[in-house]
Amino acid sequence: MNKVFSKPKSMKNASTHYCPGCGHGVVHRIICEVIDELDIREKVIGIAPVGCAVIAYDYWDFDVTEAAHGRVPAVATGIKRVKPENIVFGYQGDGDLAAIGTAEIIHAANRGENITIIFVNNAVYGMTGGQMAPTTVLKQKTSTTPFGRDKKRDGFPLKVSELLATLPGVSYVERVAIHDPQHILKAKKAIKRVFQNQINGLGFSLVEVLSQCPTYLGHSAKEAVRWVAEEMIKEYPLGVFRQ
Amino acid sequence: MTKKVLMCGNEVLAEAGIMAGCRFYAGYPITPQNEIPAYMSRRMPEVGGVFIQAESEISAVNMVFGASLTGVRAMTSSSSPGISLKQEGISYLAGCQLPAVIVNMMRGGPGLGNIAPSQSDYFQATRGGGHGDYRQVVLAPASLQEIVDLTVLSFDLADKYRMPVMILGDGILGQMMEPVELNPKSIPQRCSGQEIQNPKIEKDWVLDGCKGREPRVIKSLLLGEGELERFNLRLQEKYALIKDKEVRYEVLYGDDSDIMLVSYGTTSRICRSVVERLRRQGKNAGMFRPISLWPFPERALKELAERVNKFFVVEMSCGQMVDDVKLSIECRKPVYFYGRTGGGIPTEEEIIGELQKRIDAGGCFTSIKYQAPSI
Ligand SMILES: Cc1ncc(C[n+]2csc(CCOP(=O)(O)OP(=O)(O)O)c2C)c(N)n1
Ligand code: SF4
């Protein structure tokens, strides 16, 4: 019999702790598939963020460390500079990357560090209970914007990909989504590309993945996927911003 | 014999780091330690190491975290305000059991304070300025030669015990020039630890890709029932071993002193002259100089308290180490304190005058009166 679907080698045989319908699991799996396809499992060093994905190492079957909140790009810099032969990637949420770790991401990008960042933008802080993220869209209700995000009080949604695309040190930035199979395939292509870029020594590459957090969007899994497809993409257009 | 060279303390420290095998340095500029990153930016490429000027102290210490987890000897340096920012990273280094050397050339605080030498980060350094139940080894050199010895030792201890080690100096030590032999001598005599040895420590925990072995994880999140408590208790066992093996100090006239000055680093240089002056006047004064501030030489001080009648602690702070002296001798003998703060440096005359005054008055007092505003 022909086996048509199996667990990537880079993925552990573990049951998930993520909420039903959460996007993190999909992104984890894509990363593992890409690592298998590029045959780099024995060279990869992953960095987990502080956020719901902190225990990514429970699913990833390769070397992984865990950085302080927002410091993934600094830790990645330290590793890659002394171990250029390894493939170093960081995984960050929107609170991790776009709030507390803004300085670290901008400067790692601006130095053109030859690292790969997978940025999961789910428009809320999942781990701490659904507070406003820098990427929360206007009028979106969160536990700290009970009346909806107000631009006067809370500022505007932060567009990380557009921002990073202005930096000459950046070699590649793309925004993708994972709300349906076609988009998941596109996301995989982008993620593969940013790993390949590192292998080819092209410098800093990042993929922003629009993801769903059904729990704190206050929607069912199905409704959350629709929200990303219809509302979030309006604010965060998909596409390649620098290459 | 090795040739002596004339360099400033910060450069000596940087070169000693290179000698110790440090091959990764990240830092952010701050006075009075700027000679360290400047020196490293020149030297690291020569020895095949990495130098990075980071965007902040937070970033610098996290770069060190990343470098260290691959097994390379890594260091960062700063001065007081920058060390405050590094505390998060130091706590994570402790939690992940990663070796690293952190240099603090202390300046005046709180806040932006000033750039004059100070010893007011003693609490922060010895109590663990970051969060959690952890410790760091803290070594306080008092001369440029000792900077060489203790820097090499710092890297050895960091690797041996897999933990952060801090070298605590101050602006004077970093800026002054003295002839030094760039060759680590043995660590001062009275220490319970082993001689300096630069051991090749096998690191079987590093992340370098899982080729030919099981994947590894380096992390500090321990969510399982009782997991963190068990881990923290294991850390405590390590710390107990360090308290037993790695205490370092120097005693001057320990056998016949009636009064013992206690000071470390730059202040101990002044106290040394004070003691010699008092001796010439026929007074039985001595000096106790902790070299390891953590582990603090508690036992040695306690033993001294059986022979010595009074202790006189001198610091460039409003009194921080003095707490450890009192705790060590369990307040069995009077402990007097004199300190200058905010960049003030105690002179020999001041110290002798204060010593006399306090002994005459027979008590321990502070001279500053603070009037709280009425609310
Ligand atoms: C220094 C620090 N501040 C705050 C926190 C609490 N905290 C944990 S995760 C998080 C935000 C997570 O949001 P995000 O990065 O968007 O990831 P998600 O959980 O949504 O995947 C915060 C604020 C922390 N762990 N450390
Ligand atoms: S809270 Fe949101 S981001 Fe976190 S696991 Fe649940 S769905 Fe995913």
Chain B contact for A77 (CB, 8 A cutoff): yes
Length of chain A: 243
Q: Does A105 touch chain B (CB under 8 A)?
A: no
* DSSP for B16-33, written as a single string: HHHHTTEEEEEE---TT-
The ligand with the least distance to the CA atom of A209 is: 1
Average pLDDT, chain B: 91
Distance CA B256, CA B268 (A): 19
Measure B36 CA to nearest chain A CA, in Å.
Answer: 19
Among B244, B279, B303, identify where a domain stops: B244
CATH number at residue B276: 3.40.50.920
Give the ipTM: 0.97
Domain assignment present for residue B204? The answer is no
Q: CA–CA separation, B125 vs B294, rounded Å? A: 8
Residue-number span of the structural domain to which A193 is assigned: 24-242
- Please indicate, yes or no, whether residues B240 and B289 belong to a single structural domain of this protein: no
pLDDT tens per residue across span B308-331: 999 999 999 999 999 999 999 998
Ligand 2 near A18 CB (within 6 A): yes
Q: Are B192 and B246 in contact (CB under 8 A)?
A: yes
Instruction: Give yes or no: residues B178 and B268 share one domain.
Output: no
Closest CA relative to residue A219, chosen from A121, A134, A141, A139: A141
pLDDT tens per residue, range B188-214: 332 333 333 444 678 999 999 999 999
Do B273 and B345 contact (CB within 8 A), yes or no? no
User: A126 vs chain B: nearest CA distance in angstroms?
Assistant: 17
Whole-number Å distance between alpha carbons of B201 and B68: 14
Residue in A with minimal Cα distance to B87 = A68
Cβ atoms within 10 Å of B189's Cβ, excluding its own? 9
With respect to residue B335, please indicate whether it lies within any of the assigned structural domains: yes
- Residue B205 counted as domain residue: no
Q: Is residue B208 part of a domain?
A: no
Same domain, B166 and B261: no
Domain count, chain B: 2
Q: Tell me whether residues B209 and A42 touch, CB distance under 8 A.
A: yes
**Which CATH number does the domain housing residue A131 bear?**
3.40.50.970
Can you give the pLDDT at residue A1? Answer: 76
Q: Which of B74, B216, B221 lies nearest to residue A63, judging by beta carbons?
A: B216
Give me the number of domains chain A comprises. 1
* Domain contains B178: yes
The CATH code of the domain that includes B164 is 3.40.50.970
8 Å CB contact of A78 and B208: no
Q: Is A125 in the pocket of ligand 2 (CB under 6 A)?
A: no
Q: For residue range B65-75, what is the model confidence (pLDDT) as tens digits?
A: 999 999 999 99
Average of per-residue pLDDT across B149-161: 95
In this structure, the answer to whether residues B351 and B310 fall within a common structural domain is yes
- Given this model, what pLDDT does residue B365 score? 36
**Percent of chain B clearing pLDDT 70 (strictly above):** 91
Between strands A87-93 and A170-177, the pairing is: unpaired
B144-161 and B9-19 are packed helices; what angle lies between their axes, rounded to 10 degrees? 40
B156, B199 contact by CB (below 8 A):
yes
Residue pair B261/B335 in contact (Cβ under 8 Å)? The answer is no
Q: Provide the pLDDT for residue A139.
A: 97
Q: What pLDDT shows up at residue B371? A: 62
Residue B363 banded pLDDT, cuts 50, 70, 90:
very low
Q: Does A84 reach chain B within 8 Å, measured CB to CB?
A: no
Same domain, B188 and B319: no
Q: How far apart are CA B148 and CA B161, in angstroms?
A: 20
Asked whether residue B211 is assigned to any structural domain, the reply reads no
Q: Over B102-147, what HEC string results?
A: EEEEEECCCCCCCCCECCCCHHHHHHCCCCCCCCCEEECCCCHHHH
Q: Is residue A124 predicted with pLDDT exceeding 70?
A: yes
pLDDT in the model for residue B5:
87
Is B277 domain-assigned? Answer: yes
Segment A116-141 shows an average pLDDT of: 98
Sequence-distant (≥ 6) Cβ neighbours of residue B329 within 8 angstroms: B301, B302, B304, B305, B311, B335
> How close is the nearest chain A Cα to the Cα of B246, in Å?
29
Q: Which domain holds residue B65?
A: 5-198+236-244
Residue B187 has pLDDT above 70, yes or no: no
Residue B223 lies in a domain: no
Contact B12, B37 (CB under 8 A): no
Residue A186 has pLDDT above 90, yes or no: yes
Strands A44-48 and A170-177 turn out to be unpaired
Nearest to A68 among B24, B56, B89 (CB): B89
**A68 in contact with chain B, both atoms CB, cutoff 8 A:** yes
The answer to whether residues B64 and B191 belong to one domain is yes
Could you tell me the pTM of the whole model? 0.95
Q: Is residue A103 part of a domain?
A: yes
Same domain membership, residue B268 and residue B179: no
Residues 6 or more apart whose CB falls under 8 angstroms from that of A12 comprise A58, A59, A60, A61
Q: Distance between CA atoms of B156 and B152, rounded to whole angstroms? A: 7
